[in-house]
Amino acid sequence: MATGKVVAFQRSGPRFESILVPIDGSALSMAAALKAVEFARRLGADIVAFHCIPPYQYPIYLGGIPFEYPSEADYDRQCRAIAQHYLDVVAGAASAQGVAAGARIDFHGNPAQAIVDAARSEKCGLVCMGSHGRGGWSSAFLGSVTMKTLTLTHLPILVDRPTAGEISHAQALMEQSAVEP
């Protein structure tokens, strides 16, 4: 098992002025984001809520091309609108706690790399993200954006595994904001 540098949160220790908070649209990622907002408030840090959208791909099937499929412009517009709803929920929670929040939406085929790139370009000193906590064969077949992100960067990453109650709360907040988890 590999060991890494442990960052202690002390008053004289490193200062995280900006924290990247990736959201994938799930209630689990929203629960982790809500905890990241609280964490940022305690640190006096800002957050950048982030959502990665897969690039447009027109499907071609063996039987032909589907008749009703959105254009690339429609796909872009629809995906951005949905992502903005997710980010608005986080921004609202941040505003309620007095935390400054920015938002970023990127189109990228590799969410883990997109997270690392966004953290660098937004000059975030920390990434806070949720994890399903899958292990064994499940993680081998399904993959883990969190694990991939950990392998791609030297930035500190705070991984949260929300409880069922926290996920339920996040889901209720998303539904209240007319966002389907």
pLDDT (0 to 100) of residue 2: 47
Cβ-contact 107, 54 below 8 angstroms? yes
pLDDT (0 to 100) of residue 71: 86
Identify the CA nearest to 101 among candidates 23, 6, 156, 165.
Answer: 23
pLDDT at 128 over 90: yes
pLDDT (mean) for 76-102? 96
pLDDT (mean) for 148-170? 93
pLDDT range class, residue 13, cuts 50, 70, 90: low
Q: Which CATH superfamily is domain 18-57+65-176 in?
A: HUPs (3.40.50.620)
Q: Which of 7-16, 66-75, 88-97, 157-166 has the lowest mean pLDDT?
A: 7-16
| DSSP designation for 13 | S
Long-range contacts of 36-40 (CB under 8 A, 24+ apart): 36/128, 36/158, 36/160, 37/90, 37/93, 37/94, 37/97, 37/99, 37/101, 38/97, 39/128, 39/158, 40/94, 40/99
The structural domains of the chain, with segments of one domain joined by +, span 18-57+65-176
Based on its alpha-carbon atoms, the radius of gyration of the chain, rounded to whole angstroms, reads 17
pTM, two decimal places: 0.84
pLDDT at 31 over 80: yes
- Average model confidence (pLDDT) across the chain: 86
51: tokens are 């959502």
- pLDDT tens digits along 105-126: 999 999 999 999 999 999 999 9
